[in-house]
Amino acid sequence: MNDAPLFPLEGTHEAAARRIERLISNLLRAGVLTSLAIVALGTVVSFVHHPEYCSSPQAFQELINGTPDYPYRLGSILAGVGRFSGQALVALGLLVLIATPVLRVAVSIFAFAAEKDRTYVVITSIVLALLVASFLIGAVA
């Protein structure tokens, strides 16, 4: 991996921008791959814990249609992950996927601040606030 500092004290603005773009690209890639790995693990765990999903069309339909105990709140997802529940692992993987672009926005705020670009710091902060507000409103609804 490149050992160059993220925000060099000297050098061109373009070089710093490329480093930031690379950091954000790596962050997005890592988030998607982590999410994929967690969802795949959860799928395997679900089929190991419930082999009837492979042989019973009715059991498989219950899995697809969502049973009442499917974890959809953060607390129930974390509790399910603690029990090594396949459905909870899949839900955690989806949460990681949802959180990845939000984390990208948060990292962008720091990148713009390091570049002393106040306009983009303000715009990106507003975007992050709207994202967080939408999650909070969705959690209440």
> Full-prediction pTM beyond 0.85?
no
Instruction: Please report which confidence band the pLDDT of residue 11 belongs to, taking 50, 70 and 90 as the band edges.
Output: low
Domain spans in the chain, listed from the N-terminal domain onward: 13-140
Query: Residue 8: its pLDDT value, please?
Result: 53
Closest to 45 measured CA to CA, from 76, 5, 15, 80:
80
